[in-house]
Structure 1
Amino acid sequence: MNADHSCSEKGNRLVEQNERAVHHERSDAREAADRFVPAPAAPVAVGAAAARVALARESFLHDEDPAPGLVRAPILASWTRSRQFSVPTDHLELPYESDSEADSPLMRAARPVIEDLADQFATEPVSVILCDDEGVVLERRTGDSALRAQLDRIWLAPGFSYAEQYVGTNGIGTALEGRAPAQVFGHEHYVEHLEEMACAGVPIHHPVTGKLLGVLDLTCWRSEASAMMAATAATIARRIEEVLLEQSGRRELTLLHDYLAACRRGRGAVLAVSDDLVMMNDRARELIDPADQVPLLADATEAIRTGRRRQLLVDLPSGATARVQCRPSWAENGLSGGVLQVQLVSRASLNRPGTPSITTALPAAVGSGALWTKCAQTVDRHFRLNEWPLLEGEPGSGRTTLARATHQMHSPAGHVRVLDAANCGPRWIAEVADELHTGGGTLVLQHVDSLSAENALALADALEPYRESTDPERQWVVATRSRSSEADSPELAELLSCFPRSIEVPPLRHHIEDVAELVPYLLARLTRGADLHCSPEAMRVLMRNRWPGNVDQLYQVLRKVVARRRTGTIRPEDLPPETRAITRRVLTPLEAIECDAIVDALLDTDGNKAEAARRLGMSRATIYRKIRGYGISMPDGSEV
């Protein structure tokens, strides 16, 4: 929502929708249930026509195109996806989740509707089934014992996933894949054991955000299918969405009220954020570059979750710095989000005399992704203010490269020295002291967390006389260490106090889009400019890798490739086996961060998913789905 007046209009519409939903009777769903009388007359041809559909399916399974007009277009598209998923046609292989989300917003909204309809369908051979957005069955109601037994035989029961990637063409999975109602009858099912069934699935969307939450499905015997199945399922889904609106309306309205109040108080940039909603006024849309919105919202959302008012200073990829006032918004049932007031701070006041203005590109530090660029801009700002930063991150993430590149951008001919604390010997502290005494240039102290307690204190003593110096020629000192969740020793904590600014350098998987820039750059270095480039297919493989060793690992992989091929085009088969450990899709930066949090929790709990879910504040069903969706595996290689 971009304009103030549009926010007001949405607020009015939301109020009207709430009033209608609160007073809405369940007569529509009950009338649809009364109209749904199973009948032998099926909407898809029976007898000879059904046999032709069966023959068309057999032809398709033997890589032959069915004759035009025999198979409905949505079914043929679903068959094609099912084949791409490698779904077996002669048996079912379904994943099972023992713990479903019994208290999710979808379940809270659907439970009373389904319970009400269960009485209507008590004497009918039809089952009402509710699934989440992964196709996992959450609720199943039927009054027909024979149908219930058949559903158990085909595992259409709570805890099992009927997603298309596991079951092929069916009312639940096909509705999820197509994001639209789906009807599947008899031999239209991809798996042969389902040909006796008929089903109609309708997606359920959040009425405010439009997010897909799940599917409402009606399943019965093929011979009992009725033309009213799709209409009845749609009516039930619509009723569930109305209850969702009742449940979420107050929370959204509270946030909307606080947002509009902030817009009226001033003419600046105002945004409102919650877990599934973002609003901004015209001034925010004009002021904040689209590429800056992701890092700004990520930092602000994290601040709002603390429940306290806070002010942030956020460095943005475009080179701007934003001062953000974060004000949480509270509803009756807890935190509903927050309101952000954003002001861009002039960068001119941060520049030292004679230094160039900030740029988004650093020499020898390849990458233009939002998280990497934001990190580079932050390091650059500390250089221009001559503040000593601590760069934290995983090995190979580019901490030293970032410090070198920042120095080179401002002082290409200036002195830079890198001293690795991992090699600390009798003369190491003395070398640091000599560098500090000489002054000027840049000193990078690598891996300071590897120092012994005695050497950490000695280094702190060597740095102390220079840390508060106002000499404009004071040497810029950068320290690096690995990211760690363990508490620092007192000696290391005293050393790190010399570096009051801590900057986290993101791992490569958090800015995976930069692989497309890193690969040609590294290939040019390795081949000394020879004509070797990466094919789109091989690049997709590289971009779907998790890269636990970050840029260093990517460099080693390309070095192995170059050892076998010096010119031409790199194909997927040219890549070493280690690149096969890929994710199922390219993750967004926020998804990568969430995936890392789940992996860390699983490692901390020795693979105990229930305990990991508790630490992360999510249900076991949610963590199961995310583990499966992200393709997370334990270190021994077995999928958790």
Structure 2
Amino acid sequence: MARPNHRSRVGSSQRPERAVDDLVRARTSFLVDHAVEAGTVRDTILASWTRSQEWDVATDDVELSCEYDRDPDSPLTRAAKPVIADIADQLATEPVSVILTDADGVVLERRTGDSTLNQHLDKVWLAPGFSYAERYIGTNGIGTALEGRGPVQVYGHEHYVENLADLACAGAPIWHPVTGKLMGVIDLTCWRPDAGRFMAMAVSRIARQIEGSLLDQSGPRELALLHDYLTACQRGRGAVLGVSPDLVMMNDKARELIDPSDQVALVAGAMEALNSPSRLTLVDLPSGSVARVQGRASWTERGGAGGVLHVQLAAPDPTPSAHATTTLPQLALPAAVGSGLRWMKCCQAVDRHFQNREWVVLEGEPGTGKTTVARATHQARTPAAHLRVLDADDYGARWVADIIEELETGGGTLVITHVDRLPAEGRQALADALEPHRESTDPERPWVVATVDAGRGPAELLELFPRTVPVPPLRHHVEDVAELVPHLLARLTRGHDLTCSPDALRVLMRNRWPGNVEQLYHVLRKTVARRRAGELVPADLPAEARAVTRRVLTPLEAIECDAIVDALLDNAGNKAEAARQLGMSRATIYRKIRGYGISVPGPAAGGRG
């Protein structure tokens, strides 16, 4: 579509043609040679071009096929609507569009007084329901403001996609004034020759107006929490946290006292404290310390709470068990590779039960490493003692006899895997064998570990084990892929010089790994069959390893993503029912489904999604 020959009416700041030509040459050089002459492109734009290239954004066309659901009554749209209406009235005669997006770059509202510009924006999909995040459209005022977390201007050929070169835009992020959460972006877009330097200043001012409106409409929950947190900080000198499902505040003493590696576990424990009747809990931290958390709720409602917590740290009990043969201040199991928070917490819990000689059930998805944790704990604490692993899949008369023999011989460790697969008579036979020994005070009795798939442990057997430790799926500690890959490659190649390139590792870390560590092992085994030495690159990986998510999820995000998937499956894909089950709004679940890239079957006929 040809652009009409406008006279510059929006505060003229037209670039000289020579500067435009220099920018075009710089862009071409970047796309062809991956190099740009110093000083020809702003650092902000160059960084965005690099990200766009990593996202594999097409440079020659704009085609967005996915239209997202929008919430017309979200806090952001309610706060922004009167502000945008006022600005749109002021710019009614100007060739400029006022655009509001959410934190994923999805356009929520667009106001444009110029019909030609309006048609062009439709043509390039800069329209309600479509996302202008950098991963889809490359460098632009919306996506680049989201990535840079600050105001940005993009003129003409600074856009990564050629079809946007006729436009200029300025975007500024909108932050929630109470929670500090990124809410979205406000953007001004016009024809390139009509762009004025005023745009960046104007869009930042509009963002502040919307933030002021958000503050005015903030509910009593956020304000109550903020008030209680500030009061607690003023009254006390200890470590204070203010937490809610959307907010974490921490005073200087807490930041000084609490190791960064402990913070995720502490926040999870803090939420447990707020939801418990006593408001008090003890949290085992990955560093080995124990946190005593005392909470005071500022508000509670179905599905969540917010409040202030006072934290005291205590060192772990330094007195070793009679069975402890080594000192492990931070358990590093020789065969259980990984240092992620949830994995280490699991390993430390198992180690603690071993030292107390408490029988334990390890519960988790197939392939998570339940047997590996049991083996590694035994080898780390009593490497010279007897270890026996018996698989319930081998159930029979001889199998039961072996169980009884191990229990009566005494000492060492007995691991019984796949207990949930036993038939009814097998479960009864195992219970009969275990019962005489489960309350024995003999210090030499064997340490017994049973493994079951998540949620499938037989009740009559679980009663014989006083402790259950969940073993997290790999997606909940995906950061450990960086340690697992070289470890598994060394095993598979028997020491040959085969390494994994950073690009291939990024692909592996973005996989959801439904088969957990076992699936990762088989993927690498297929890869090693084709390449025994050198460096693995993404092209060497089998197709299943490239079924990646949009980004690497944090452990807490992975847990939330799993909960949403389970709720959607429980409700046949009905998003409204899933949101109700999870205690979140329909708008929130739509946003999270979009953000996590969740795909589930649609609702049954007649259902409302």
**Aligning the two structures, in what range does the TM-score lie when normalised by the shorter sequence?**
0.7 to 0.9
CA distance 1:256–1:542, change in 2 (3 Å): same
CA–CA distance in 1 between the matches of 2:36 and 2:335?
Answer: 56
Tell me the SS of whatever aligns to 2:311.
strand
Tell me the SS of whatever aligns to 2:240.
strand
Equivalent AA in structure 1 for residue 129 of structure 2: G
CA distance 1:155–1:458, change in 2 (3 Å): same
Q: Name which of 436, 447, 458 aligns with 2:407.
A: 436
Structure 1 residue 541 and structure 2 residue 507: aligned? yes
Structure 1 residue 463 and structure 2 residue 434: aligned? yes
Structure 1 residue 525 and structure 2 residue 494: aligned? no
TM superposition shift of 1:426: 3.0
Equivalent AA in structure 1 for residue 454 of structure 2: R
CA distance 1:322–1:457, change in 2 (3 Å): farther
The percentage of counterpart residues that share the same residue type is 67
Equivalent AA in structure 2 for residue 318 of structure 1: S
CA distance 1:222–1:415, change in 2 (3 Å): closer
* CA displacement 1:350-401 (0-9 Å, x = unmatched): 7433634444112322222221111111111111222221110111211111
* CA displacement 1:298-337 (0-9 Å, x = unmatched): 2322553x47444333222122233333332228999662
CA–CA distance in 1 between the matches of 2:527 and 2:25?
Answer: 48
* CA displacement 1:594-621 (0-9 Å, x = unmatched): 3333343444445555554454445566
CA contact (8 A) 2:59 2:161 kept: yes
Structure 1 residue 594 and structure 2 residue 560: aligned? yes
TM superposition shift of 1:627: 4.5
Per the alignment, residue 101 of structure 1 pairs with 71
Segments of structure 1 that go 5 or more residues without pairing to the other structure are 1-36
Per the alignment, residue 126 of structure 1 pairs with 96
Q: Name which of 433, 441, 450 aligns with 2:421.
A: 450
CA distance 1:55–1:531, change in 2 (3 Å): closer
Q: Name which of 113, 121, 135 aligns with 2:105.
A: 135
Per the alignment, residue 228 of structure 1 pairs with 198
* CA displacement 1:138-185 (0-9 Å, x = unmatched): 122234445444433333221111223333333222322333323334
Q: Name which of 298, 307, 322 aligns with 1:329.
A: 298
Per the alignment, residue 353 of structure 1 pairs with 322
Equivalent AA in structure 2 for residue 541 of structure 1: V
CA contact (8 A) 1:326 1:338 kept: yes
CA contact (8 A) 1:82 1:190 kept: yes
TM superposition shift of 1:49: 6.2
CA–CA distance in 2 between the matches of 1:291 and 1:84?
Answer: 29
CA contact (8 A) 1:250 1:331 kept: no
CA distance 1:503–1:162, change in 2 (3 Å): same
Per the alignment, residue 176 of structure 1 pairs with 146
CA–CA distance in 2 between the matches of 1:403 and 1:95?
Answer: 48
Tell me the SS of whatever aligns to 2:411.
coil
TM superposition shift of 1:482: 0.5
CA–CA distance in 2 between the matches of 1:537 and 1:150?
Answer: 37
CA–CA distance in 1 between the matches of 2:234 and 2:443?
Answer: 45
Segments of structure 2 that go 5 or more residues without pairing to the other structure are 1-6, 602-608
* CA displacement 1:477-533 (0-9 Å, x = unmatched): 11110113x7x7xxx212211123211111222222323333333333334444444
Equivalent AA in structure 2 for residue 450 of structure 1: R
Per the alignment, residue 213 of structure 1 pairs with 183
Tell me the SS of whatever aligns to 1:348.
coil
CA–CA distance in 2 between the matches of 1:497 and 1:333?
Answer: 31
- Higher mean Cα deviation, 215-224 or 602-611? 602-611
CA–CA distance in 2 between the matches of 1:346 and 1:63?
Answer: 56
Per the alignment, residue 387 of structure 1 pairs with 358
Per the alignment, residue 521 of structure 2 pairs with 555
- Higher mean Cα deviation, 54-63 or 571-580? 54-63
Per the alignment, residue 500 of structure 1 pairs with 466
Tell me the SS of whatever aligns to 2:397.
coil
Per the alignment, residue 4 of structure 2 pairs with none
CA contact (8 A) 1:204 1:237 kept: yes
Tell me the SS of whatever aligns to 1:473.
coil
Structure 1 residue 410 and structure 2 residue 377: aligned? no
Q: Name which of 354, 366, 370 aligns with 2:341.
A: 370
TM superposition shift of 1:559: 3.1
Tell me the SS of whatever aligns to 1:230.
helix
Q: Name which of 171, 175, 179 aligns with 1:201.
A: 171
* CA displacement 1:389-426 (0-9 Å, x = unmatched): 11101112111111122122222221222222222123
Per the alignment, residue 510 of structure 1 pairs with 476
Query: Size of the alignment, in residue pairs?
Result: 594
* CA displacement 1:229-280 (0-9 Å, x = unmatched): 3332221111111222334485445324434555677665432222343334
CA distance 1:179–1:437, change in 2 (3 Å): same
CA–CA distance in 2 between the matches of 1:277 and 1:553?
Answer: 35
Q: Name which of 273, 281, 287 aligns with 1:318.
A: 287
CA contact (8 A) 2:510 2:550 kept: yes
Per the alignment, residue 30 of structure 1 pairs with none
* TM-score, normalised with respect to structure 2: 0.85
CA contact (8 A) 1:350 1:381 kept: no
CA contact (8 A) 2:112 2:118 kept: yes
* CA displacement 1:179-229 (0-9 Å, x = unmatched): 332333445444444444443222222334544321111233445544433
* CA displacement 1:519-570 (0-9 Å, x = unmatched): 3333333344444443444433333333222222233333334444444444
CA RMSD of aligned residues (A): 3.6
Per the alignment, residue 338 of structure 1 pairs with 307
* CA displacement 1:85-129 (0-9 Å, x = unmatched): 443444321244442133333223212322343443444443321
